[in-house]
Structure formats: C-alpha cells, structure tokens
Amino acid sequence: MPVQYYIFLSIALFCIGIMGVLMRRNAIIIFMCIELLLNAVNLLLVAFSKMWADAGRIDAAAAQIFVFFIMVVAAAEVAVGLAIIVMVYRNTHSVDINILNRLKN
C-alpha cells in the first residue's frame, strides 16, 4: 500500500482542523481542532516510521518516540489550556473568543 495514502489522509485531517480553527468561535471547539491537528501530524510520523522500518533502518522507532513526546506535550497543554478557558468563562460567562479582544485595550 503506497505511503501516499497516509500522507493524503493526514493532509485532509490537518485541513479539516485548520478549517475548524478558522470557522468556529467557541474556544473549546478551537482547542479540540488543535488536538486534531496534532493527531494528523502524529499519524504522518507513524506512517513514515513504518516506511523507514520497511527500508531496513534500525532507528525507525525514533519516530514513534517522537509521537510519544507529542502526546505528552499535548496532555500538558490541554490541562493548562482548559484551566485558562474555565477561568475566562468564570470571568466573562462565555467562551466566545470575540469577547477576548478586550485584551487589546
């Protein structure tokens, strides 16, 4: 099976995530779309890991370790980001990101 299939699937997932970030105004949905972007990249890394393992490289596991670290950082990011969103909701009673443009003044 060509590795292009996985590349195109990752591109499609990534672009759906980009569209979600641009189209929605709910801060939680935007955050979930960022998770989708990270997962598209993870899928691509795992596909390339398999490609290198088929080519006989012994260090192909490094790509999967990289995916592992991306998951770690994503988990930490979600913990802090959701705390920030909860605090914003507590202060403004909304998760609309347009309300946050008061940070400009």
Partner 1 sequence: MNTQQVIFLVLSAISLASAMGVILSKNPVTSVLCLILTFFTIAGHYVMLNAQFLAVVHIIVYAGAIMVLFLFVIMLMNLNADVEPQKRNWLKYAGAISGGTLLVILVAALRDASMPSLQSGSTDIGLIANLGKTLFHQYVVPFEISSVLFLSAMVGAVVIGKKE
| Radius of gyration of the CA atoms of the chain, in A | 18
Q: What is the DSSP letter of 93?
A: S
Quick note: the x/- pattern for partner 1 over 52-91, rule CB under 8 A, is: -xxx---xxxx-xx-xxx-xxxxxxxxxx-xxxxxx-xx-
C-beta neighbour count of 68 within 10 angstroms: 10
Q: How far is the CB of 102 from partner 1 (least distance, A)?
A: 15
Q: How far is the CB of 24 from partner 1 (least distance, A)?
A: 6
Quick note: the x/- pattern for partner 1 over 4-43, rule CB under 8 A, is: xxxxxx-xxxxxxxxxxxxxxxx-xx-xxx-xx--x--xx
Is 100 a residue that touches partner 1 (CB under 8 A)? no
Write the Ramachandran bin of 57: left for phi over 0, alpha for psi from -120 to 50, otherwise beta: beta
